[in-house]
């Protein structure tokens, strides 16, 4: 059974930093593609950043230059380094892995940016 679990969400002041972690487990080798999404109250879930097994990364325009996605060499962990956080970054952040056309989602971790 494949599992995806996020951690690292917290309350932080504007301008602060957080690092989210996503760990994956299950009977597979590794997800070829991983991504972070977020969903603010009353809003649709949106793609924040993605990383492919070939190393390609992509970011939403709203986080370019502030967020960085990475994964460990064993491809069991995916990280989202978030710097210069803004109040608009407040949301539940979700990690997603795609394997053989099937999406696997974590339960989400809350990030709140507030003075």
Cα distance between residue 70 and residue 21, in whole Å: 10
Please give the pLDDT value at position 100: 83
Instruction: State the pLDDT at residue 29.
Output: 62
pLDDT of residue 55: 87
Q: What is the mean pLDDT of each run of 10 residues along the chain (115 residues)?
A: 92 98 78 93 96 93 97 88 98 92 94 97
Residue 74: its pLDDT value, please? Answer: 79
pLDDT at 99 (0 to 100)? 82
């Amino acid at each position: 059974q494949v599992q995806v679990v996020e951690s690292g969400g917290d309350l932080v002041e504007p301008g602060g930093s957080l690092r989210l972690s996503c760990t994956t487990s299950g009977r597979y080798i590794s997800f070829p593609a991983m991504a972070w999404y977020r969903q603010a109250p009353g809003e649709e879930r949106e793609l924040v950043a993605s990383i492919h097994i070939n190393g390609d990364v992509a970011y939403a325009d709203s986080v370019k230059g502030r967020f960085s996605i990475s994964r460990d060499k064993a491809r069991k962990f995916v990280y989202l380094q978030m710097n210069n956080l803004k109040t608009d970054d407040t949301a539940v952040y979700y990690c997603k892995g795609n394997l053989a056309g099937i999406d696997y989602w974590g339960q989400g971790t809350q990030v709140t940016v507030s003075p």
